Amino acid sequence: MRFTTEQRLDDGVLEREFTLGGIPGILWTPESASAPVPLILLGHPPLGLHKMYPRLVVRARHAAADGFAAATIELPGSGDRPRWAAVEQARADLRRAIDAGERVSDEIIDALVLPLVDKAVPESQAALDALLSLPEISGPVGYSGGVISIGIRLAVVEPRIVAAGFFAGSFVPRTMFEEARQVTIPLHVLLQWDDEGNDRQAALNLFDAFGSVEKTLHANMGGHTGVPHFAGEDAARFFARHLR
């Protein structure tokens, strides 16, 4: 892990870009911390870190205000990373189906999401190895948002992640429902009730499938990007309960 840039944000947050095995990432740490802090791994949709930066930095500042580090890495095939023909083909198939007003087939969803999960999850685990070896970060780790299938797989295979906040707003392959049953860590699931890009019933079925004893669904009005401010505060309190 090699840090490439470093800047102090105005609210006492240290922001450092890094690269790890060719994968770009960003780490935010609260400068006021006197002891090693827990970490929240910030997921995001596969639109590239640069494009997602404004939303990521808001989440990172909130994490830092609660005394947590936050980090994120670029997804395979996104941003400045090499393009990935198979996933680009699946995205083109998805767009074509949506433009034609067709139901998005299970085959398209599988081709779009499963390779991403298979590749992104070990990369996230390698990032955790590097991040948790830093003296300023101790764990435990929370996973927040992004592609929900990546979060589900991580919650199943990665014991350092002790709590996860999911955003029910992306296509979920059928096999992920089985993996969801194996999740046992506390979950906080956000659902935008009128999200035009989301199948509400599928999101409710997925929530039902999670094996966790503590799981909470927070549904709010509005579309994909209309999550109300107080819903973000509720999610922050969820992580504060489980990471401190």
Residue 85 interacts with its own copies (CB under 8 A)? no
Q: Greatest CA span in the chain, whole angstroms?
A: 56
| Residue from 44, 59, 61, 215 in contact with its own copies (CB under 8 A) | 215
Shortest CB 202 distance to its own copies, Å: 13
What is the spatial distance between Cα 225 and Cα 25, in angstroms, rounded to a whole number? 23
Q: How many CB atoms lie within 10 A of CB 211?
A: 15
Nearer to its own copies by Cβ, of 97 and 219: the residue is 219
Nearest residue to 154 (alpha-carbon basis) of 130, 173, 182, 134: 182
Single out the segment in contact with its own copies by CB under 8 A; choices: 61-69, 111-119, 127-135, 209-217: 209-217
Nearer to its own copies by Cβ, of 31 and 208: the residue is 208
Structure token digits, residue 94: 């998805």
Nearer to its own copies by Cβ, of 124 and 212: the residue is 212
Nearer to its own copies by Cβ, of 9 and 204: the residue is 204
Please, which of residues 109-138 interact with its own copies by CB under 8 A? none
Nearer to its own copies by Cβ, of 149 and 212: the residue is 212
Structure token digits, residue 112: 């779009």
Nearest residue to 212 (alpha-carbon basis) of 152, 135, 160: 152
| Residue from 91, 220, 223, 232 in contact with its own copies (CB under 8 A) | 220
Residue the block writes with tokens 């790890």: 20
| Residue from 17, 93, 199, 214 in contact with its own copies (CB under 8 A) | 214
Please, which of residues 141-200 interact with its own copies by CB under 8 A? 193
User: What b/e sequence results for 77-100 when a residue is b if at least 16 CB atoms lie within 10 Å of its CB, and e otherwise?
Assistant: bbbebeebeebeebbebbeeeeee
Nearest residue to 77 (alpha-carbon basis) of 108, 27, 138, 120: 120
Residue the block writes with tokens 């890009």: 197
Q: Which residues bind its own copies (CB under 8 A)?
A: 193, 204, 207-208, 212-221, 228, 230-231, 233-234, 237-238, 241
